[in-house]
Amino acid sequence: MYIDFTASDFLTISYNYDTHILVGRWLRPVTLLEARHGYEELLAAARQQKAQYWLIDVRRCHHSSTEIQEWLKKSYYPSLTANFDVPVYMIYFMAPDMRKDYEVDGQLTTSAATTGQPLHLNLCTTEGECMSWLVQQQQLVPQLQASR
């Protein structure tokens, strides 16, 4: 069962109660102001649902500006993790060419400097890969807690 949180001309947000995954789908390239607004909406929905597993679909965004990437790394990711008492798992669903660009320029890495709980990032080119990775993370969390 899904619950929809917001619909704008640049982002939709939904939460799947069955998989416990928050899904944000960017619908077009965005300005820095729109990116900030959209990511804050994602955070609000995640906090409401206590969602630590996120799928972010950026296929329609083309390539985020350096300005947006810097804001994500320096401001948003640290703020995000400070709002949770559990690790957050975020996977970006993107076109293969976009993934190559990110791997070459290193703008989006698989780890982020944070002040709160860990933030685990990943990049995938199919929704199936995204869902598999998130489900795998969900299965690992109870195992990690049991080993403590």
pLDDT in tens, 99-135: 777 666 655 555 544 445 689 999 999 999 999 999 9
Gap between the Cα atoms of 94 and 127, Å rounded: 9
CA distances 133 to 105, 130, 137, Å, are 23, 5, 6
Whole-model pTM: value is 0.86
Alpha-carbon gap, residue 55 to 2, rounded angstroms: 14
Can you tell me whether residue 53 is helix, strand or coil?
strand
**Distance from C-alpha of 126 to C-alpha of 110, rounded to nearest angstrom:** 17
pLDDT class for 82, splitting at 50, 70, 90? confident
What span, in angstroms and rounded, lies between the C-alpha atoms of 112 and 78? Answer: 8
Question: What are the residue ranges spanned by the domains of the chain?
Answer: 2-146
Contacts of 50 (CB under 8 A, 6+ apart): none
Mean pLDDT of the chain, nearest integer: 85
Residue 14 vs residues 24, 99, 110: alpha-carbon distances, Å: 7, 24, 24
- Judge residue 52's burial from the number of C-beta atoms within 10 Å of its C-beta, 0-12 exposed, 13-18 middle, 19 or more buried: buried
CA distance 90 to 110: 9
Homologous superfamily, domain 2-146: STAS domain (3.30.750.24)
Question: Counting every residue, how long is the chain?
Answer: 148
